[in-house]
Amino acid sequence: MDFIRNFPLFTIVLSLFSGVLCFLLPGKAAKRYTFIYEGILLVLVGSVLLYTIRTGGSFTYVMGEFPAPWGNEIRAGVLESLLALAFVIILQCSLFAGYRFVEEDMDESKVNLFFTLVNLMTAALMALIWTNDLFTGYVFLEILTLTSCGILIVREIGRTTLAAVRYMILNLLGSGLFLLGVVLLYDLTGHLLMVPMRETVSVLSRDPAVMPVLTMAVGVLTTGLSIKSGLFPFHFWMPDTYGWATPASASLLSSIVSKAYIFLLIKTYYRAIGMDVIQKMPIPYILLGLGICGIVMGSVQAMHANNLNRMVALSSAAQIGYIYMGMGMGGVNGYTAAVFHILAHAVTKSLLFLTTPRLAEVSGGSLLFRSLQGAGIRNRDAGLFFTAGAFSMIGIPVFAGFASKLQFGQAAMETGNLKVLTAVMLALAVSSLLNAIYFIRTMIRIYSTGLGITRKEVPVRAHHRAGYNIPMIVLTLGNLILGLFSWKVVQLIHLGFSMFR
């Protein structure tokens, strides 16, 4: 067995250890250690991706001496390692760009706790991506929930605490429903590992008496994960959660954590239930409908926001709607579009959430549109990167947003269902229009000097250090790569799905 096959295990165990180690270290040392460790993690995950592409196959890794139906297993394929790589890069960029705000927002004695939580979160993300077992998914889902509440409350102001309480209640509801789904599936199949479960499900689904129970189990599980990721009727926690958290946390929560839940759902559908069984259920249509509602409602609510962060947060609701719409269309193309949008949105949203505080700090610390007048002129770098992110959100060609909208359109064409095609195309058109309206409004706001406001001096020159731009450049480049070489990425995702069976 090649040594590289051990790397997924190392990413999980080392991240758990790093979390516990940061608990002991002082703040500065914890920060330095975490940055070095994230570099190591990048190498580990990157080599797994190269290995899976080169060997053209996926591999399962037995956790312990007991093989598949009895012991735990993890699995790595192209799709998993691609997402893991993207998540690690975004994690690193968020920490690099967000660290100085963490320092401002937190007491010095607690900075090491922030890094403890970030490392535990990394472990949970890695485990959720690699897992081949539904119950392992649940356990690390719990860690992810707790750590995301933790990195939300680090600001210690009333609003984040309130948002965290709401976020925690909804997330626990989601976890509970997910657990209920897992329990029902276990009761029906007697397995927790995904592949044996799928084999049993495909036998059971031939019995018409079992189908309603199976649908209910999958439905409960889906509801749990969609509450956690913020699908349309459950998106109301988003503006407060993302809008008031410290920038690094907002970027991590919106671009990585909610996507990890969606990826777990995709993995469950493909590997634990089987797509042929899912297609017999009404669930894809419900996801499609709710996704489209989410796209429209999220955009409409974002238009009404008067605070930049809340606007960006509400546009997340719309983007999550896109992903579920892709899953609702079904077929490899729909799911490919969904995974591509996971990547595109993760790269774009982290860029936006990391630039908005830089626009705010040259506007007297306020994120209200009225105060942001001319902010893009006062901090030109931040304005430029915000523009790049906004272009991607609107779907201007060259950027990632356009490529993913193209994927959704193509996937809708290939469903061969006229109703689905019409609905998806209308949703894409309306959403692009609404996105353009509220992002162009922001653009006018940050680049105009009218309304009696002239160019102000940037308050603190030190905030213009070139180093702050490096993570932004990485994220913008990622955006451009996803936009320009989308065919290559789509090929990789296709390859990943072909190994997913």
- Residues 189-228 interacting with another protein (rule: CB under 8 A): 189-192, 200, 203, 209-210, 212-213, 216-217
How far apart CA 216 and CA 236 sit, in angstroms, is 25
User: Nearest distance from residue 224's CB to another protein, in Å?
Assistant: 13
Range list of H helices, 331-399: 331-361, 375-378, 380-394
User: Nearest distance from residue 451's CB to another protein, in Å?
Assistant: 8
How far apart CA 185 and CA 204 sit, in angstroms, is 11
How far apart CA 309 and CA 167 sit, in angstroms, is 17
Return the residue of 20, 162, 169, 426 that touches another protein, per CB under 8 A.
Answer: 20
How far apart CA 171 and CA 174 sit, in angstroms, is 5
Segment contacting another protein by CB under 8 A, of 33-41, 76-84, 181-189, 224-232: 181-189
**How many Cα atoms are found within 13 Å in the side-chain-facing hemisphere of 84?**
34
Output the six-digit token pair for 264. 């777990």
Q: Which residues, 115 to 134, sit near another protein by CB under 8 A?
A: 116-117, 120, 123-124, 127, 133
Nearer to another protein, 120 or 406 (CB): 120
Cα–Cα distances in Å, from 484 out to 333, 411, 413, 479, 488?
Answer: 19, 19, 22, 9, 9
Helix (H) or strand (E) holding 73: strand 72-76
Question: Is 172 one of the binding residues for another protein (CB under 8 A)?
Answer: no
Segment contacting another protein by CB under 8 A, of 108-116, 344-352, 380-388, 487-495: 108-116
Nearer to another protein, 21 or 346 (CB): 21
- The residue assigned the tokens 């902010």 is 375
Nearer to another protein, 8 or 471 (CB): 8
Question: Is 29 one of the binding residues for another protein (CB under 8 A)?
Answer: no
Return the residue of 27, 77, 98, 150 that touches another protein, per CB under 8 A.
Answer: 150
| Interaction mask 36-65, another protein, x per CB under 8 A | -------------------------xxxxx
How far apart CA 445 and CA 307 sit, in angstroms, is 12
Return the residue of 32, 36, 187, 449 that touches another protein, per CB under 8 A.
Answer: 187
Q: Which residues, 360 to 399, sit near another protein by CB under 8 A?
A: 368-370
Nearer to another protein, 80 or 133 (CB): 133
Q: Which residues, 316 to 355, sit near another protein by CB under 8 A?
A: none
Question: Is 452 one of the binding residues for another protein (CB under 8 A)?
Answer: no
Question: Is 447 one of the binding residues for another protein (CB under 8 A)?
Answer: no
DSSP code per residue over 190-222: S--BHHHHHHHHHHHTTSTTTHHHHHHHHHHHH
Count of beta carbons in the 10 Å neighbourhood of residue 444? 12
Return the residue of 29, 47, 53, 161 that touches another protein, per CB under 8 A.
Answer: 161
Q: Which residues, 73 to 102, sit near another protein by CB under 8 A?
A: 74
Segment contacting another protein by CB under 8 A, of 71-79, 400-408, 414-422, 481-489: 71-79
Question: Is 70 one of the binding residues for another protein (CB under 8 A)?
Answer: yes
Nearer to another protein, 10 or 35 (CB): 10
Nearer to another protein, 209 or 466 (CB): 209
Quick one: DSSP state of residue 156? -
Nearer to another protein, 318 or 412 (CB): 318
Q: Which residues, 398 to 437, sit near another protein by CB under 8 A?
A: none
Residue 133 phi, psi (nearest 5): -145, 130
Output the six-digit token pair for 289. 């409908």
Return the residue of 44, 91, 93, 184 that touches another protein, per CB under 8 A.
Answer: 184
Question: Is 238 one of the binding residues for another protein (CB under 8 A)?
Answer: no
Question: Is 282 one of the binding residues for another protein (CB under 8 A)?
Answer: no
Which is it for the CA torsion 274, 45, 395, 148, positive or negative?
A: positive
Output the six-digit token pair for 320. 């999550």
- Name the residue among 338, 351, 197 with its Cα closest to residue 266: 338
Output the six-digit token pair for 359. 């626009």
The identity of residue 120, as a single letter, is L
